[in-house]
Amino acid sequence: MPAYRYDFALSAKLEDFVRRRYSDRLTNGILHFYFSLSYLERKRHLSPCAPMPAADHRALACELHRSLRHIGPALSKLELVGLIELIMGTPLRGSKRATQIRRRTLQELKTNECRDVLKDSTPVDAKRVCEVLNARNFVYGDENACKPSWNVGRTGRVYSSRPNVQKDTQEVRTASLQAGLSDGECLVNCDYKQADPSVIRHILAGHGFDASAWPDDPYVDLTRHLGLSRDDAKVEVNRLAYAKSAVAIAKHWHLPAGHFVLRYAQALDEYKAALWKSSKPVRGRRQVKTLGGTVITAERGAHIHPGSLLCWQAQGTVADILNRAVLELVRRETTDGWRVLFPVHDSVYVKARRGQEQDIELVMVAAAKEVGVELRVELNPNPSGTSNHRSFRAGTIAAQIAARYTVHQAGGTGPGVDGEVRLDLPDTGLRFEE
C-alpha cells in the first residue's frame, strides 16, 4: 500500500482563497476553526475536502482544542456561508446523531456549484432510472453498443453524456435508433405533449384559476394579436410562467381587456407570490416541493426569484412522472417483451413489437394519474419491415428525409449493398443513386 501523502498545496490554495474572500464575513475565531479542519483531514488520512468520518461535538472539541459550546455555532456559520457541507449532529454524549463535515472544494466555491455529497438529495426514482440506463447499451447508427453516461439534473430529469444522444435532432435520433430494429419491431417515441403548461394550469386550478376559460389552442389567438408565428407565441406564453412578473410582460402585448392571457398572467403572479412566501429558506437555501413529493433545493448563493420556484416545481413534476413511467416500462420488459432505450426531455424511446404502442401509452397515462395530473400522450411509432435501415449523419439532407419515410434497400438484404435506395414518398418519382 502506498504511503499516505496529504496534498498541502491544494489545501493551501483553498485556504488562501477563503482568507481573501470570506475574512469580512467571518470572525477570526471561526476562520481559525475552518483552517483547523485540514488538521482533521490529515489525522484521518484523507485528501483535502474529503467527507469526514462521523464524530460527535465533544470529540471535535477535544481534537481541535476548542470549547464544546463553540463547536455548534462555528459549524452552523460555516455552513451558512457555504464553506462546508454539514450534517449537524447533537452534542449529547452517546447520541447516534453524529456530525459529518466536508469542506467545499475550491472549484465549488469559485463557480458557486456546490454538490451535496453527504446529503444525497437526488430523487429516488431518477437515481434508479440512471442505474438502469447505465447498465445497458443499444444500437445507435454505426455503433452496435452505444453506452452513454447518465446523470440526474437539479429538477430530476435524466441527461446523457459521452455521447449526448439527447442533443441530436429528432430526425437523426430516430434514424440512428432504427438501425437496431429487427423484423416486426417498431421504435415508439411516447411523448407528454405540452407537459409543463399542463402541470402549471393544474396547479393554478387548485388555487382558484378557472381552467375552463383556457382555449384548446391558445397560441392561435396570440398569433393574430401579436403577429408572431405559432412557435414564437408558444415561447412567449411559456415565458410568463417562469418570469419574475407575468403581468408586466403581458401588459406590453396590448391585449383586449379581459383577455384570457391577462387573467392567466394575474393568476400566475398570485401563485408565485404565495409559493415564494411558503418556501422559507432552510439554512439560507429556498426549497420547493413537486406534485410528486420531490424536494428541489436552490444552490447556495444562487439569485432566484418566484418564477424560478414555479419552474422547478413544474419541470420537477414532469420529471417525476416520466421517471415513474420509465421504471414501470422497465419492470414490464420481461413480460411484455419491449425494451426501454432512453428518455429525452418529456418523452421516452421504446423498442417494441408492432401492436404494443397502446400498452405503452397506457403506462405513460397511468404514471401521470398517480401524481394527480391529466397529461396528453402522443405516440410516434416508426415501424420497420426489415432490419436494413440506414443511419445518417446530422446535417445531411438524407438524415432529415430518413426519419420521415421508410427506407428500402434494393439489390440486397443488408447495409452496404450497392444498388438503388428507394424512399416511399407520396406521388413523387424521387430516386437517390449511391
On whether residue 378 sits in a domain, the answer given is yes
288-300 confidence digits (pLDDT tens): 999 999 988 887 6
On whether residue 92 sits in a domain, the answer given is yes
Same domain for 213 and 335?
Answer: yes
190, β-bridge pairs? 348, 379
Domain that holds residue 278: 185-383
Q: How many structural domains are present in the chain?
A: 2
Question: Of residues 392 and 267, which shows the higher confidence score?
Answer: 267
Q: What is the pTM of this model?
A: 0.65
Structural element, H or E, at residue 86? strand 84-87
Which three cell numbers mark 189? Answer: 417515441
Residue 393, pLDDT > 50, answer no
Cα dihedral 185/187/188/193 (nearest 10): -160
Please give the Cα distance from 210 to 206 (Å, whole number).
9
Look at residue 124 in the predicted model and tell me its pLDDT.
86
Alpha helices in 190-282 (DSSP H): 195-205, 218-226, 230-242, 246-251, 260-278
Question: Percent of the chain having pLDDT more than 90?
Answer: 43
62-105 confidence digits (pLDDT tens): 888 888 888 888 888 888 888 888 776 554 444 445 678 889 88
Same domain for 247 and 334?
Answer: yes
Given 88, 111, 134, the domain boundary residue is: 111
Look at residue 240 in the predicted model and tell me its pLDDT.
92
Look at residue 421 in the predicted model and tell me its pLDDT.
41
Look at residue 391 in the predicted model and tell me its pLDDT.
32
Please give the Cα distance from 215 to 392 (Å, whole number).
40
Which three cell numbers mark 37? Answer: 479542519
Which one-letter DSSP state was computed for residue 279?
A: S
On whether residue 300 sits in a domain, the answer given is yes
On whether residue 353 sits in a domain, the answer given is yes
Same domain for 251 and 363?
Answer: yes
Q: Other CB atoms closer than 10 Å to residue 65's CB: what's the count?
A: 7
Which three cell numbers mark 10? Answer: 491544494
* Helix, strand, coil in percent for the chain, rounding step 5: 45, 15, 40
Q: Other CB atoms closer than 10 Å to residue 237's CB: what's the count?
A: 18
On whether residue 127 sits in a domain, the answer given is no
Please give the Cα distance from 347 to 325 (Å, whole number).
10
Alpha helices in 44-96 (DSSP H): 57-64, 68-80
Same domain for 230 and 98?
Answer: no
Look at residue 181 in the predicted model and tell me its pLDDT.
92
Please give the Cα distance from 359 to 65 (Å, whole number).
65
